[in-house]
Copies of this chain bind each other. A is one copy, B any other.
Amino acid sequence: MQRVVVLMSGGLDSATVLAMAQAAGRAVHTLTLSYGQRHMAEIEAARRIAQDAKVDSHREIGVDLSAIGSSALTDVTIPVPEARNQEAVQNREVPVTYVPARNTIMLSVALALAESIGAKEIWCGVNAVDYSGYPDCRPEFIRAFEDLARIATRAGIQGDRILIKAPLIRMSKSEIIKAGTGLGVDYSLTVSCYQATLSGTACGRCEACSMRRLGFEGAGLPDPTRY
Contact = CB atoms under 8 A, between A and B. Distances in A.
Contacts of A104: 108, 111-112, 148, 152
A56 interface: no
Interface on chain A toward B: helix, strand, loop, or mixed SS? helix
Interface residues of A, number: 42
Contact of A112 (B61, B101, B141): B101
User: Copy number in this complex?
Assistant: 2
Contact of A111 (B60, B62, B70, B101): B101
A156 interface: yes
Given A101-B152, A101-B153, 16 more contacts: A60-B67, A61-B64, A61-B67, A61-B68, A68-B116, A98-B154, A100-B113, A100-B115, A100-B116, A100-B154, A101-B111, A138-B151, A140-B151, A141-B151, A144-B151, A147-B148
Closest 8 CB pairs of A and B: A101-B112, A100-B115, A70-B116, A100-B112, A108-B108, A101-B111, A105-B108, A104-B108
